[in-house]
């Protein structure tokens, strides 16, 4: 018998919905954060560092760090672990601090 977190607490989430990540369709459940939905789809990184372009995703998972920054619906620097996923959300990989166009 496979046990799941939802099964252990007898949760009955509403029907799944779709969001997109860099053009790829991802299934999310009501109550999931953007980070949880991406993790559930096997996506572990959605930001690159400013220096070196190293991949980053969720680190602390509670909003204390800034490793999980993503662009959500065109808004940069959103902490994906704190943003609730909503039907139709468009998430894109954020490069660096999200303000490259301001660099001189």
Task: Write the DSSP assignment of 58-77 as a string of letters.
Answer: -SSSSSSSSTTEEEETTEEE
Per-residue model confidence as pLDDT tens digits over 61-89: 888 888 889 999 999 999 999 999 999 99
Domain 14-47+72-96 fold is Ubiquitin-like (UB roll) (3.10.20)
Q: How many residues does the chain have?
A: 104
Residues 6+ apart with CB under 8 A from 25: 18, 19
User: What pLDDT does 98 receive?
Assistant: 62
Q: What is the CA radius of gyration of the chain?
A: 15
Residues 6+ apart with CB under 8 A from 2: none
Per-residue model confidence as pLDDT tens digits over 11-35: 788 899 999 999 999 999 999 999 9
Q: Tell whether the model's pLDDT for residue 90 goes beyond 80.
A: yes
Domain borders along the chain are 14-47+72-96
């Amino acid at each position: 018998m496979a046990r799941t977190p939802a099964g252990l607490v007898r949760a009955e989430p509403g029907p799944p919905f779709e969001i997109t990540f860099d053009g790829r369709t991802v299934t999310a459940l009501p109550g999931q954060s953007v980070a949880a939905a991406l993790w559930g789809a096997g996506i572990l990184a959605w930001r690159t560092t400013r220096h070196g372009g190293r991949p980053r995703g969720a680190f602390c998972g509670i909003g204390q760090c800034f490793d999980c920054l993503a662009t959500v619906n065109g808004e940069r620097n959103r902490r994906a672990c704190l943003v609730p996923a909503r039907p139709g959300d468009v998430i894109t990989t954020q490069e660096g601090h999200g303000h490259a166009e301001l660099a001189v």
